[in-house]
């Protein structure tokens, strides 16, 4: 979710064993390739530099079908401050994924949090702003047509309090048409990619989920080429049972593919002070199982997939926050810092088998 930081290179001997050696908290025995067990695609977020790490690459190739760029395909990565575009890092990532047999899912064309400087200079000039908006979306989408299987076209458009939609420079200049226009421009540039609306906290905030679904319905009624719904699913390990299943079930009502698009299950964000680490790790396994089962409960055509927001714990965006500089940092992912499968990875495998 944020600009990736430099990571150290994992030792080769540890990396090559990453897929078969379990962590102390996991069941004994090898972990089967997760993608071999799944009835839907499994994805992981990636940065360009990670493809230079043998251990990371082998881990990802073993267990996942596709990658989502963590930062490389966001507006601030594409747009130069002085104007024009820089696709170098995204090109290298997409090419690296393709040569390793991995598909790429684009993330994200339009996000309230990122408005490149050239657009800020056009604030208040609707005609010029709209022309620049179309040029940006079509340029980016056209460049990766045939190279990405889908796009998060608009990311996080809904306010958290269930009071409507976020204010941002896109909306200020184009109204809520900015959402519909983004989908239309993306489809103009790429006739094949599946186009998603994506947001977070949909499992924790029912009012926000209702607004999200209301926006999706309005797009469909307006004839926008909305192709799927993404729920990020950044969740705490003590989330109440049933919340994820309820959210995925409601998202599925529109008949569109559903993507659990950025899964991580935090041991440090949200849980109360009395929660023990072991109980949170149990919660992590329970919630991962619930995610898999919720996707499996959808009709096959609606199971777009499950993407985890990082392969190893040390790859997580959560590790870059100040609270994770202590002796027991967050461990929100399926594999530990060295790439060894944790109990939560085995829980996912068991759920996929079931």
CATH code for position 205 = 3.20.20.80
Distance, in Å, from the CA atom of 333 to the CA atom of 335, rounded to the nearest integer, reads 6
Q: Where are the alpha helices (DSSP H) in the chain?
A: 12-16, 34-37, 54-63, 75-78, 88-99, 117-120, 126-143, 169-174, 177-189, 206-221, 243-251, 277-296, 343-353
Active site residues: 156, 262
| 127 shares its domain with 163 | yes
pLDDT tens column, 21-72: 333 344 557 999 999 999 999 999 999 999 999 999 999 999 999 999 999 9
Number of domains in the chain: 2
Q: Which two tokens stand for residue 64?
A: 């996942």
Contacts of 187 (CB under 8 A, 6+ apart): 195, 225
Phi/psi of residue 211, each to 5°?
A: -65, -40
Question: Do 210 and 242 sit in the same domain of this protein?
Answer: no
Q: What's residue 20's pLDDT?
A: 33
**Average pLDDT of the residues in 79-96:** 95
User: Does 10 fall in a domain?
Assistant: no
- Taking phi over 0 as left and psi of -120 to 50 as alpha, with beta for the rest, 84 belongs to left
Percent of the chain surpassing pLDDT 70: 91
Same domain, 36 and 118: no
pLDDT surpassing 90 at residue 162 = no
User: 79 with 123, same domain?
Assistant: yes
Its domain, for residue 158, covers: 67-226
For the chain, percent of residues with pLDDT exceeding 90: 84
- Reduce the DSSP state of residue 155 to 3 states and report it: strand
Q: Span 265-294, mean pLDDT?
A: 90
pLDDT (average), residues 303-320: 97
pLDDT tens for 98-125 read: 999 999 999 999 999 999 999 999 999 9
Q: What is the C-alpha separation between 200 and 196, in angstroms, rounded? A: 13
**What does the pLDDT read at residue 274?**
61
Q: Whole-number mean pLDDT of the chain?
A: 91
Whether residues 316 and 199 fall in one domain: no
User: Does residue 271 register a pLDDT over 70?
Assistant: no
Tell me: do 213 and 95 sit in the same domain: yes
Residues 177 and 249 grouped into a single domain: no
- Written as six digits, the tokens of 250 are 């409601």
H helices, E strands: number in the chain = 13, 9
Closest CA to 5 of 67, 54, 71, 66: 71
Determine contact, residues 150/194, Cβ cutoff 8 Å. Answer: yes
Bridge-based pairing of strands 150-155 and 103-111 is parallel
Give the angle subtended at the CA of 303 by the CAs of 297 and 305, to the nearest 5°: 120
Phi-psi region of 197 (alpha: psi -120 to 50; beta: other; left: phi over 0): beta
Do 255 and 314 contact (CB within 8 A), yes or no?
Answer: no
More confident residue, 349 or 11: 349
Q: Is residue 13 part of a domain?
A: no
What the block records as the tokens of 181 is 């226009």
- The answer to whether residues 339 and 310 touch, using CB atoms and an 8 Å cutoff, is no
Identify the residue with better confidence: 100 or 275.
Answer: 100
Residue with tokens 């002070």: 273
Please give the structure tokens belonging to residue 211. Answer: 């607004």
32 domain residue, yes or no: yes
At 211-239, the pLDDT tens digits run: 999 999 999 999 999 999 999 999 999 99
Average pLDDT on 315-343 reads 92
- Which tokens in the block code for residue 69? 């760029």
CA 97 to chain centre: 16
| 142 DSSP assignment | H
pLDDT level of residue 323 (50, 70, 90 thresholds): confident
pLDDT (0 to 100) of residue 52: 97
Q: Are residues 196 and 99 in the same domain?
A: yes
User: What is the model's pLDDT at position 328?
Assistant: 85
Residues 88, 29, single domain; the answer is: no
Residues 26 and 158 in one domain: no
In a domain, 7, yes or no: no
Contacts of 282 (CB under 8 A, 6+ apart): none
Task: Give yes or no: residues 101 and 148 share one domain.
Answer: yes
Q: pTM of the predicted model, to two decimals?
A: 0.91
**45 falls within a domain:** no
Do both 182 and 243 map to the same domain? no
Q: Name the DSSP letter for residue 148.
A: -
What pLDDT, on a 0 to 100 scale, did the predictor assign at position 99? 98
In-domain check, residue 292: yes
Residue 105 domain-assigned (yes or no): yes
| pLDDT recorded at residue 218 | 98
CB-count burial class (<10 Å; 0-12, 13-18, 19+) for 44: buried
In a domain, 274, yes or no: yes
Query: Which residues make beta-bridge pairs with 263?
Result: 308
The residue-averaged pLDDT of 170-185 equals 98
């Amino acid at each position: 979710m944020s600009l990736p930081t430099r990571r150290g290179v994992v030792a080769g001997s540890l990396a090559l064993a990453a897929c078969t050696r379990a962590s102390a908290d996991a069941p004994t025995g090898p972990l089967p390739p997760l993608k071999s067990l799944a009835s839907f695609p499994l994805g992981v977020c990636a940065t360009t530099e990670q493809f230079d790490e043998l251990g990371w690459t082998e881990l990802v190739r073993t267990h996942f079908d596709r990658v989502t760029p963590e930062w490389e395909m966001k507006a601030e990565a594409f747009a130069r401050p002085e104007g024009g575009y820089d696709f170098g890092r995204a090109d290298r990532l997409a090419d690296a994924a393709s040569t390793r047999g991995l598909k790429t899912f684009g993330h994200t064309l339009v996000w309230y949090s990122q408005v490149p400087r050239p657009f800020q200079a056009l604030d208040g000039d609707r005609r010029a702003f709209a022309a620049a908006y179309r040029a940006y979306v079509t340029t980016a989408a056209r460049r990766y047509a045939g190279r990405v299987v889908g796009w998060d076209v608009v990311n996080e458009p809904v306010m958290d309090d269930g009071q409507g939609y976020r204010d941002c420079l896109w909306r200020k200049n184009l109204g809520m048409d900015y959402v519909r226009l983004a989908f239309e421009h993306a489809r103009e540039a790429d006739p094949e990619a599946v186009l998603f609306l994506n947001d977070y906290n949909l499992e924790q905030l029912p009012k926000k989920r209702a607004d999200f679904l209301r926006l999706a319905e309005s797009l469909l009624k307006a004839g926008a080429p909305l192709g799927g719904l993404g729920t990020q699913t950044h969740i705490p390990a003590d989330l109440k049972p049933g919340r994820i299943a309820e959210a995925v079930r409601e998202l599925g009502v529109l008949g569109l593919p559903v993507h659990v698009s950025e899964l991580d299950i935090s041991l440090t964000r949200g849980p109360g002070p009395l929660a023990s680490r072991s109980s949170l790790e149990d919660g992590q396994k329970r919630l991962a199982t619930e995610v898999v089962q919720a996707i499996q409960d959808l009709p096959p055509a609606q199971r777009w997939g499950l993407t985890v927001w990082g392969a190893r714990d040390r790859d997580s965006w959560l590790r870059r926050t100040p609270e994770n500089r202590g002796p027991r940092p967050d461990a929100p992912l399926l594999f530990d810092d060295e790439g060894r499968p944790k109990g939560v990875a085995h829980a996912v495998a068991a759920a996929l088998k079931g």
